[in-house]
A = this chain, B = another copy of it.
Amino acid sequence: MPQLTDKRAPNAFRKTAQTYTSGAKTLPQPYFVSPEVFNAEREQIFSKQWICVGHQSQIEKAGDYFVPEVAGESLIIARDQKQSIHGFYNVCRHRGTRLCEVASGSSPAIQCPYHAWTYGLDGRLLGAPSMDLVPGFEKADFSLHAVNLRLWEGFIFVSLSDASKPLEQVFAPLAGKFAHWNLPSLRPARRIEYKVEANWKLIFENYSECYHCPLVHPALSKVSPSDSAANDLLEGPFLGGFMSIAKGQSLTMSGKTCALSVGGIGEEDHARVFYYSVFPNMLLSLHPDYVMVHLIWPQSPGRTRIACDWYFHPEAERAEEPRFNPEDAVAFWDMTNKQDWHVCELSQQGIASRAYEPGPYSPRESIPAAWDREYLRQLR
């Protein structure tokens, strides 16, 4: 009989976390189903770490904004008239009304739709009808609440905590590593959003190994052999390496290159695809002809929203050769993504059983094991 995990023991998962150190086995059940663990993750990880919310190319012009949700919080990310990028909570300082209803847009100012309080794109309160009659009311006291915001390789990161380590320090190990791919200048061609009925950590564990590729991804395995992984980041918040692509092929439906090379990548790297996970919510997949980025948004212990973007060289559309065909890449990975989400959902279902117990990782699952270790360090 299986050793039954008592789901209701209030701090059961903490004890397990302390005694689980080998990394050779999958995480215990509560990490995947417990609302308490989920709340701890939201508090300890998603409200404290640097979280990728998008790319600077999404708000190219002054006045552009978009509205991501981080740790349950709706935020406004806006470019002001001086080209500075700011992040705010999407909450009016008057009666708390949500200010921006749409996912993205462009506007010279942010006006509350309820009582017309109006803020600049730098967050300062510019106008508030009748409030000048209130003794002691100072507009300067009612700026929008800001979140910390930094750029890394053109990607926008926010932190809801003032106590987080500086982004530059956190990302120091990656300095220069991706310079060849020209990430800051790339342009997105397409976004697909997925709702997956699985814990967010299963998405990372799935991304981090190709032991499952022969059965789950027959098309991918044909072009990029499942045993060709060569990892170079083996421990810590950044994990991954490259896999081979068959000579002259590309990870597209047609098997052909679908766009201008994203950057000045070397000859050797034209037959490689690099896969890296950036803790805690980004998957970075660097192909010769495009870059795919997954942003992972936990919704509940058993539900995850995933936004997948495909980025290309800014001149790709104008190039005559190779012909720009982004859907060739999008369709290939949309198919592959769905194959992955399906097995993640099956894992979520099985792990919820009282019969589940941590199982042994194979030698080809060393990166998932390293990711689990980093996760446990960050949760503590």
Contact = CB atoms under 8 A, between A and B. Distances in A.
Interface of A: 1-2, 26, 73-74, 89-99, 101, 113-116, 128-131, 133-134, 137, 142, 145-146, 160, 162, 205, 211-212, 214-216, 343, 346-347, 349-351, 353-356, 359-360, 362-364
A1 B116 contact: no
A114 B215 contact: yes
B116 A214 contact: yes
A353 B133 contact: no
A337 to B, nearest CB: 15
Given A26-B95, A351-B96, A355-B91, A215 B115 contact: yes
A115 B129 CA distance: 63
Contacts of A214: 116
A contacts with B: majority SS: loop
A362 B162 contact: no
Nearest to A209: B115
A6 to B, nearest CB: 11
A144 to B, nearest CB: 9
B98 A362 contact: no
Given A2-B89, A350-B99, A94 B134 contact: no
Contact of A356 (B91, B116, B211, B347): B91
A105 to B, nearest CB: 15
Report, nearest first, the 10 A-B pairs whose CB atoms are least far apart.
A89-B355, A98-B350, A96-B351, A98-B349, A91-B350, A145-B355, A96-B350, A96-B356, A98-B346, A114-B343
B145 A114 contact: no
A255 to B, nearest CB: 25
A180 B24 CA distance: 58
Nearest to A342: B113
A359 B92 contact: yes
A251 to B, nearest CB: 21
- Quickly give the copy total for this chain: 3
Given A215-B115, A355-B145, A350 B92 contact: yes
Nearest to A355: B89
Contact of A114 (B92, B115, B347): B347
Contact of A90 (B95, B99, B353): B353
B215 A131 contact: no
B116 A162 contact: no
B353 A134 contact: no
Nearest to A148: B1
11 contacts: A1-B145, A1-B146, A73-B354, A89-B355, A94-B360, A97-B346, A98-B346, A113-B346, A114-B216, A114-B346, A145-B355
A97 B350 contact: yes
A62 B116 CA distance: 52
B130 A347 contact: no
Contacts of A162: 1
A163 to B, nearest CB: 10
Given A89-B2, A349-B74, A355-B73, A362 B216 contact: no
A26 B98 CA distance: 15
Contacts of A26: 95-96
Given A92-B350, A212-B115, A97 B343 contact: yes
A235 B163 CA distance: 45
Contacts of A350: 74, 90-92, 96-99
Contacts of A362: 94, 115, 128-131, 133-134
A41 B205 CA distance: 36
Contact of A131 (B2, B90, B360): B360
A183 B113 CA distance: 36
